[in-house]
């Protein structure tokens, strides 16, 4: 956790106001000019749950340098909050250090893009933070994506059965913005009256950098119930940068009690929107450029949610035609047959199609929310990396294993993987997956995002004993990975039963660096998994936004094809015994939720 040195009264000026106060007209940040010809470099910024990262890429999509700065987070029960001021300082530190480490001069950075978690930012008319916290702390002006304070509000919104809900799987999640906005209005009236702009975090970052309040089709469509397909008639106008917001459903906002957000042509939630990657304003303002160590006027592309940036950074990472891997993949030339897994604290499952597909319990169809002119389907699991961390770190054997891993200069998870490989021979099971014959996990420790769309779902561990040994922790860890993979299989099967034809997975994010995690997913889902050549796919996706904004490529999709590249391919096991085993465990996995519903019903009747 990063300690903030900022006081609650530190003023946060809007970009324009900050420029006026500073009197700045150009960047004063100086870098040593490298002894080589200037390069064309694209900069991507990704603000995750725990850190702000910056990455620099060349015109072949190769990472030149990266740096990460921690950000502060407050967690109190279902409430999870952050500070936009703290995040901006972390972004500036990460960008400056990444440029220094990569020996990239400010003039070499020709474009910049932002990606971030789909967290909700509140600022007043001057751009200063407005508290969204029970504490009243003005720094805490962000409701983080994973915050579940608005479960009740989400249920009431869904009870209205508005037509807009069919474009988000039939119901809004408490992780979306409408329920969170309603919660603030109902619980923090003073803050509600002070807020001048409600913004998704990635949109706020782009606004903070450029002074342009244009929102992204990605954020507004995926998290705000904006109907992006209202712009389908304008798609042929390639010169269009800003588009007047015509996709808000005013009846919906009035029905749920937020009709005041319609005022001023939706000024508080977005009067104009644009495709991801379209240039914003006049590029970096002088003040933002100085803070970032870049040049004023550097093009900035309209933003993406971090998972969607991962999709942009990896979806075209398929083997070249004629390669051995290409010949073993089914129909890999069709972008509509792929699903991207963005695997981090949570996992997002992203698939696109040329036609809109309505899938109950799965978010979407979202028009142009990731790849322009394609409909996006978005599944997800709210706790994956977070679940593995939780189960491992809270086990009695964890401290000893952590020390052993540190002594061997490997991660704790790599040590667990090695332990499992050894146990295969010790226990004499036919294959590694069979070690969890008696342990079954439903991974809904933070609810089920899809395809059940039940935020009240709880995690289940079946098969516990009094054993608290290191080996038992390894088995628990493996069973959790399998439970997560069964959840992915459930999502893929559900999407395919409603019109998708997914047969290939692409994976990126922190968990995609774990070979056991990947192999279990390949075996359980029954699909090959392609890894990108450049594993910093979210950063690459955000950098692609800057590449498009700088006019280096005619479209986002063209930039994806130029800058994405395939790496390793993981194929599912061909052993029929492995498939039979996972089919059986998958059946148990599905039954765990059905049993939970039964228990809920019994207890509800007992308490009625």
Per-residue pLDDT tens over the stretch 290-312:
999 999 999 999 999 999 999 99
For residue 552, is pLDDT > 90? Answer: yes
State mean pLDDT over 378-395. Answer: 96
Give a three-class secondary structure readout of 351-396: EEECCCCCCCCCEEEEECCCCCCCEEEEEEECCCHHHHHHHHHCCC
What confidence category does residue 325 fall into, taking pLDDT thresholds of 50, 70 and 90? confident
- pLDDT tens digits, one per residue of 70-114: 999 999 999 999 999 999 999 999 999 999 999 999 999 999 999
Q: What is the pTM of this model?
A: 0.87
For residue 29, is pLDDT > 60? Answer: no
Q: Which long-range contacts (CB under 8 A, 24 or more apart) does 166-172 make?
A: 166/358, 167/221, 167/225, 167/227, 167/364, 167/365, 167/366, 168/225, 168/363, 168/364, 169/359, 169/360, 169/361, 169/362, 169/363, 169/364, 169/450, 169/453, 170/360, 170/361, 170/453, 171/361, 171/453, 172/225
pLDDT at 424: 97
Q: Check residue 471 and report its DSSP letter.
A: H
What confidence category does residue 169 fall into, taking pLDDT thresholds of 50, 70 and 90? confident
């Amino acid at each position: 956790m990063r300690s903030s040195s900022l006081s609650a009264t530190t003023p946060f000026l809007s970009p324009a106001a900050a420029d006026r106060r500073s009197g700045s007209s150009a960047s004063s940040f100086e870098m040593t000019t490298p002894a080589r010809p200037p390069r064309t470099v694209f900069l991507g910024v990704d603000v995750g749950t725990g850190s702000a990262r910056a990455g620099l890429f060349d015109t072949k999509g190769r990472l030149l340098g990266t740096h990460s700065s921690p950000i502060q987070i407050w967690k109190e029960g279902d409430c999870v909050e952050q500070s936009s001021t703290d995040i901006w300082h972390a972004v500036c530190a990460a960008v400056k250090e990444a440029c220094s480490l990569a020996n990239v001069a400010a003039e070499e950075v020709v474009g910049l893009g932002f990606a971030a978690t789909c967290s909700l930012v509140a600022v007043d008319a001057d751009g200063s933070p407005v508290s969204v916290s029970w504490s009243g702390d003005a720094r805490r002006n962000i409701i983080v994506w994973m915050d579940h304070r608005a479960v009740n509000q989400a249920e009431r919104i869904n009870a209205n059965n508005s037509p807009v809900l069919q474009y988000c799987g039939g119901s809004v999640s408490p992780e979306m913005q409408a329920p969170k906005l309603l919660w603030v209005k109902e619980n923090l009236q003073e803050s509600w009256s002070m807020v001048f702009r409600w913004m998704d975090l990635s949109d706020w970052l782009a606004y903070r950098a450029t002074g342009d309040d244009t929102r992204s089709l990605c954020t507004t469509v995926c998290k705000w119930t904006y109907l992006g397909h209202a712009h389908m008639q304008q798609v042929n106008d390639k010169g269009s940068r800003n588009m007047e917001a015509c996709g808000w459903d005013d009846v919906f906002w009035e029905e749920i009690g937020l009709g005041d957000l319609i005022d001023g042509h939706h000024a508080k939630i977005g009067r104009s929107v644009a495709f991801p990657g379209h240039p914003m304003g006049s590029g970096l303002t002088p003040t933002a450029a100085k803070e970032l160590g870049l040049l004023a006027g550097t093009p900035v592309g309209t933003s993406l949610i971090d998972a969607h940036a991962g999709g942009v950074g990896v979806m075209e990472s398929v083997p070249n035609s004629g390669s051995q891997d290409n010949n073993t993949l089914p129909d890999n030339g069709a972008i509509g047959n792929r699903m991207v897994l963005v695997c981090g604290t949570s996992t997002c499952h992203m698939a696109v199609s040329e036609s809109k597909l309505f899938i109950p319990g799965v978010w979407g169809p979202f028009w142009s929310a990731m790849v322009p002119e394609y409909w996006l389907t978005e599944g997800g699991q709210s706790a994956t990396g977070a679940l593995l961390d939780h189960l491992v770190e809270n086990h009695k054997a964890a401290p000893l294993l952590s020390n052993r891993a540190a002594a061997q200069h490997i991660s704790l998870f790599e040590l667990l993987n090695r332990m499992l490989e050894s146990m295969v021979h010790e226990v004499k099971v036919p294959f590694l997956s069979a070690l969890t014959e008696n342990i079954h996990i439903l991974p809904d420790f933070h609810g089920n995002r899809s395809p059940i769309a039940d935020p009240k779902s709880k995690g289940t561990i079946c098969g516990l004993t009094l054993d608290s040994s290191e080996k038992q922790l390894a088995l628990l860890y493996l069973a959790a990975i399998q439970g997560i993979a069964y959840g992915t299989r459930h999502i893929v099967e559900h999407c395919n039963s409603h019109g998708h034809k997914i047969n290939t997975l692409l994976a990126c994010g922190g968990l995609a660096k774990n070979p056991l995690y990947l192999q279990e997913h390949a075996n359980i889902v029954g699909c090959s998994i392609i890894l990108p050549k450049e594993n910093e796919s979210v950063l690459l996706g955000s950098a692609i936004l800057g590449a498009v904004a700088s006019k280096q490529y005619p479209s986002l999709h063209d930039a994806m094809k130029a800058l994405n590249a395939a790496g390793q391919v993981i194929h599912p096991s061909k052993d029929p015994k492995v498939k039979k085993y996972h089919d059986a465990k998958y059946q148990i996995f599905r039954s765990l939720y059905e049993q939970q519903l039964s228990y809920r019903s019994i207890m509800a009747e007992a308490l009625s």
